Structure 1
Amino acid sequence: MSEARSTPPARAISAESLRRLRAHLGVLNTATLQRLDSTLPWYRRLTPDERSSLGLIAQRGLTGFLSWFERPSTSITTLLGEVFGGAPTELTRSISLQRALQLIRTVVDVVETQVPEIVQDRDQTLVREAVLRYSREIAFALADVYARAAENRGAWDSRNEAVLLDAVLRGEAPDEILSRAAAAGWNSGRGIMVIAGPTPTDELPARLAGARRAAVRAGYDLLVGVQSERIVLVVGGVTEPHRAAEVLTPWFGEGPVVHGPISESLVDAHRSAREALAGLAAAAAWPRAPRPSHAQDLLPERALHGDRAAVDVLVQRVYSPLRAAGNSLLETVDTYCQLGHSLEGTARELFIHANTVRYRLRRVTEVTGWDPLVARDAYVLQTALAVGRLHRSD
């Protein structure tokens, strides 16, 4: 803060006016507290300790003004430190910058109203000008206090978010995750989903800010992690996975975006993260994959990429149920895939009627959830048969 701005008035105030101001400090302070209580509804809702703290700041402001006015050589920066004392941190926690400025404005209004009745007539203009200069310095000081507090909070929040996200992805101890989630202000207890996609090549801060705004508008909690060439989002409060993924996908860079299944809590979210990241790693094998894609839609690619979890799903949800249903289903779907998805060719190969092939393929859909008549589903089934046979041979 430059000393040029805080230069005191050229003509000194009279000794009599100074004496009167000192004698009326208590009156000015009482009038200020009464004005705060009558004009600022938020002040009345504060706790007694908070009101006392703000009242003390107002009193120090009046005393500091008089000290500066009596001793023009005193640095106003030093006086501002005396005004706020150890209060800035508590002040920023108790009230917003807007309310803090309302507090200072109220003090100034009271002084401007009361001073004409206190000082000598010849000093009134001088005092008013000094009050304006002093209040301006107080306002600048307040803005600086709040700006520094915001920077510190932002830096702390970023560090805490990064540590929390890392703990979630690693699946660390529940107490560690929950304590850090509480510190980060995480509100979602259920409906946690992880989304992964490429990092934008430009405007990264704007993209991340846009993702946060989109999440807030949609009612989601959000953790953001930038890991070199990919962004990982942990989204809370999700009820419809695909809708949440569609809301946040535009903020990723060009390329595939993959989301995992919903987890019940942050403690379990590492499972969703594992699937999302495995799907993203394997997505290049399916250039026509929708954007966004569910990690379960990429099971064949994940299995080919060496994801053991995908292999287990294909074996447990496709191969084993088909094998348990009888060799006819396995044989039929295998032959159907091998012969280019031809019903007639499959019927000839197995010496059965085409309607029997249709019936068996419908049974495959009922057993597994994947329809052999759909090309993509047939690929999933064919991959499942291959990994299932390999699994049996292990």
Structure 2
Amino acid sequence: MLTPQPQPQADQRLRGALAGALLDHIDALTTRVVADIHAHSEMYASERPVSGPDLTAVCRDNLIRALEDFGGLPPTGDFEQAARETGRRRAVQQVPLDTVLQAYRRGGRVMWQAMTEVLRGWSEVAQDTALEVAGALWETIDRYSSVMADAYRMAQLELHHRQDTRRGALFEALLDGRGHDPVVAKAAAAALGVPERDRYAMVVAAQDPAAPPHPAPVLAAADVWSFWRPRAERYAGIVRIGPRAPGMLLGILRRHLGATAGVSPPFARLAEAGSALRLAERALRTLTPRSGEVAALDERLPEALLCEQPEITERLVAHYLGGVLSRPVEREVLLETLSVWLGTGGSAGRSAERLFCHRNTVLNRIGRITELTGWSPDSGEARLGWALAPRALPGPAADTDGLSGAGPV
């Protein structure tokens, strides 16, 4: 609780007399304070968001409470409550706290000017007594300002919490597919502070223990807007790409994120966030957990298809590569050779260059794969199966045609 400091009796009588004199002309004093605030603040002078009547009413109430407290007069209202109400009101109106505090200082200055005018007519008041009165007045203004500022900051925290809750709820509505309702899409755009139409991407990042606790700072450092929410041990985020190339986003995430993440193709409307989320999740499912890799769906479409049909994928692997996988001693070198051979379009010569071996060695290995699998390298179906099956395998064996894969099977 705020309590006035005890003062000598004569000083207290003087303060009471000064407060009473100003309260007798409270409307005129209020007009002077409002005019002074308008003269020194463009925001208040514009009367947006604080209207003239609003400022006048608040100033009048604050002046009464401050003068009663300063003068030790019987209070007609709660000193602290008036200050707290002003702080909350200006926080809701989004008036900067510095602007509000400046208005308080201007009000205190006008109050002191009015008091000096009264004191000039009281010739028996000594100068040192007047100075003590000035100090007491500014103590009152400082205490009043402190209570107001504390209430302002608390109201700001409450507003931010409510805004975050609203943003989160509307973002979840987008992810749930309700963005196709124009009302939801418009409200979400306003809450998130972005346009309904632009270029966006969805990112789903696993909450890896070794990764940073939240993806947002990584993008913010690159001046890229994003909004994230935790969802079942993952972070789901919408990223505003704008005119940038999608590769920009992948580059930032791969260099700095540290978490395993899937990225959707770009989309143009917030209403598409729900379907983009599902695509980003499919991209994430193609990666080995805690690998720290970042995958764009368009880079891993075959892997995404394989992930969606695990039983069929298991049969596909066994059907086309079962014989190779059953030979643990030969498996690694045969799969590596097959991957390079497919990536070079079936060229034994180019494959040999990449593998640092003789072309006959490549041909012998492909012959061995044919023997173990029963599939001819001249068969289009065999080549398709050989290209798809390794993408469902974990680790380096899944590297086919330059795309590192780590499937779930």
**TM exceeds 0.5?**
yes
Alpha carbons 2:261, 2:284 under 8 Å: kept:
yes
CA distance in 2, matches of 1:306, 1:104: 65
Distance 1:296 1:45 in 2: 52
Residue 101 (structure 1) aligns with: 101
Report the counterpart of residue 304 of structure 2 in structure 1.
Answer: 302
Structure 1 Cα separation of the partners of residues 61 and 163 of structure 2: 32
Q: How does 1:86-235 map to 2 (within 5 A)?
A: 88-89=88-89, 92-119=92-119, 120=122, 121-122=125-126, 123-175=129-181, 177-188=184-195, 189-199=197-207, 201=209, 207=214, 210-211=217-218, 213-214=220-221, 217-218=223-224, 220=225, 222-235=226-239
**Aligned-partner SS, 1:341:** coil
Q: In 2, are the aligned partners of 1:198 and 1:230 still within 8 Å (CA)?
A: yes
Superposed displacement of residue 100, structure 1: 0.7
1:196 aligns to what SS in structure 2? strand
Query: Match for 1:60: what amino acid?
Result: D
Aligned equivalent of 1:278, options 261, 275, 282? 282
Counterpart CA distance in 2 for 1:81 and 1:202 is 49
- Structure (1/2) with the larger helix percentage: 1
Residue identity matched to 2:35: Q
Which 5+ residue runs of structure 2 have no aligned equivalent?
A: 314-337, 350-362, 368-376, 385-397, 404-409
CA distance in 2, matches of 1:211, 1:167: 25
Query: What amino acid maps onto 1:199 in structure 2?
Result: Q
Give the conservation status (yes or no) of the 8 Å contact 2:205–2:259: yes
Map of 1:236 onto structure 2:
240
Q: Which amino acid aligns with 1:7?
A: Q
Letter of the 2:2 counterpart:
E
CA positional deviation for 1:145: 2.2
Deviation at 1:82, TM superposition (A): 3.6
**SS of equivalent to 2:272:** helix
Moved more, 54-63 or 274-283: 54-63
Mean Cα displacement is larger for which, 261-270 or 63-72? 63-72
1: distance between equivalents of 2:254 and 2:109?
A: 51
Partner-residue secondary structure (3-state), 2:268 = coil
TM-score by length of 2: 0.66
Letter paired with 2:261:
V
Residue 116 of structure 1: how far off its partner (Å): 1.8
The answer to whether the 8 A contact 1:191-1:265 is kept is yes
- CA RMSD, aligned part only? 4.1
Distance 2:237 2:62 in 1: 47
Q: Which amino acid aligns with 1:255?
A: A
Distance 1:174 1:125, change over 3 A: same
Structure 1 unmatched runs, 5+: 312-332, 350-356, 365-374, 381-394
Deviation of 1:261 (Å): 0.5
Deviations 1:224-282 (A, max 9, x none): 11124321111125332221343456664x33222110111011122221111111122
Deviation at 1:284, TM superposition (A): 0.9
Q: Distance in 2 between matches of 1:258 and 1:48?
A: 44
Shift of 1:181: 0.6
Residue number in structure 2 paired with 1:33 = 34
1:157 shift after superposition: 2.2
Taking a change above 3 Å as real, the CA distance of residues 285 and 70 of structure 1, as seen in their structure-2 partners, is closer
Counterpart contact for 1:196–1:231, Cα < 8 Å: yes
Q: Does structure 2 retain, via aligned residues, the 8 Å contact 1:193–1:238? A: no
Cα distance change of structure 1 residues 180 and 277 upon mapping to structure 2, 3 Å threshold: same
Q: Which residue of 1 aligns with 2:333?
A: none
Q: TM-score with structure 1 length normalisation?
A: 0.68
CA shift, 1:134, in A, is 1.6
Distance apart, 1:97 and its partner CA: 0.9
CA distance in 2, matches of 1:339, 1:43: 72
CA 1:18–1:177: 2 relative to 1, 3 Å:
closer
Aligned-pair identity in percent equals 17
